[in-house]
Homo-oligomer: A and B are copies of this chain.
Amino acid sequence: MNNRSIIITIVVILLVIAGFNIAQTKEDESFSSYVDKDGKITRPTDFKEEWTFLGTWTLPDNEDDGMHIVYTQPGVIEEYRQNGGEFPDGAILIKEVRSIKSQAMTTGPKVIHAENQKLWFVMVKDEKNRFPDNPKWGDGWGWALYYADDPSKDVSTNYKKDCLGCHVPAKLTDFVYVEGYPVLKK
């Protein structure tokens, strides 16, 4: 192997590495790996181990669905703060709803913790109104609902019917009850 062929080999290796990086960047720039070209939303499955906890809503008198636990992707909290309090395009909120158990503990006579998972609500921030003809998208978000007995199936049909009823009271904060997520404030 002479000088020239060694140099050519090194240049080829560098170009291949650069090519991989460009391909990777392009993939990262797509809207969301959880949304297909028609706006179908796939439920995230790795959020409990990999994502960031936002906050909990506890309904102490509802054993069936008494703990609502909300997560978002890594980095979203920082972007939210930098954006002056707006969720970035592509941000996902997933709310896991679990049954609860109440018991006496050393900390108090009634202490509640989460038990079985029941369902998940998903919201995907969409600043560009990407799916105007899809009834699961609107008001700046994509909306989805999955039950634990078939956790990959979005059973929502129309966000205005299935989701807005509960979210309209939070319209002024982009339909999100941010007062339950004090971590958003720094």
Q: Which residues of A contact B (CB under 8 A)?
A: 1-3, 6-7, 48-50, 52-53, 55-62, 65, 67-69, 71, 74, 77-78, 98, 101, 105-117, 165-166, 169, 177, 179-180, 182-183
For A111, list chain B residues within 8 Å (CB): 57-59
Task: Say yes or no: A53 contacts B77, CB within 8 Å.
Answer: no
Copies in the complex: 2
Task: Say yes or no: A57 contacts B107, CB within 8 Å.
Answer: yes
Nearest-neighbor residue (CB-CB) of A5 within chain B: B3
Task: Say yes or no: B166 contacts A108, CB within 8 Å.
Answer: no
Within the assembled complex, what's the spacing in Å between the Cα atoms of A115 and B177?
13
Q: Which of A48, A56, A166, A183 has the most CB of B within 10 A?
A: A56
Q: A71-B53, A106-B169, A107-B68 are in contact. Are A114 and B2 (CB under 8 A)?
A: no
